[in-house]
Amino acid sequence: MFDAAEKEFGGIDVVVNSAGRLSLSPIADLDLDDLDALHRTNIRGTFVTAREAARRVRHGGTIITMSTSVVGLQLPTYGAYVASKGAVEAMTLVLARELRGRQITVNAVAPGPTATELFLDGKDETTVERMAKQPPLERLGTPEDIAEVVAFLASPAGHWINGQVVRANGGIV
């Protein structure tokens, strides 16, 4: 993927890693195969992408990872997911410091409840409605809400923001 982007565009200026997997289960009941699969995507996948981005993003570029606002909410059954996204946040902040001097910003975006296939999968209408009422804005986020935050961070206007986790969640504490 990186080779193709460099060939097609002459270099890489922005990398956004948004691959993710979710497995809901109480920690006591979680199947370790599910944990391994989740961590392989969320931690290892992010790490491999970040490693390659650190090697290839041009001076002045941007690397953006995806976390979740559930890291701060610590909801029951989200233990494995929160553990993986907490690792993503830590990795992101370390990478921002490791790229000192290259003018490359590295940030994580941590969406709150957002109307995506990943979020909606397995949730009944009552649960979705309850979660939509959590933010003071009283609605689910949209993919466009999150895309606008990512676009801002990747733009020159967002280039002073570095080594941060941006919780794009409608105000959930």
Tell me the two tokens of residue 91: 């990795």
Instruction: Give alpha helix (H) positions in the chain.
Output: 2-9, 32-39, 46-56, 70-73, 79-98, 117-120, 125-132, 143-154
Active site residue 78: no
Query: Of 81, 150, 158, 162, which one is the catalytic site residue?
Result: 81
- Name the H helices within 46-110: 46-56, 70-73, 79-98
Query: Which residues have a catalytic role annotated?
Result: 81
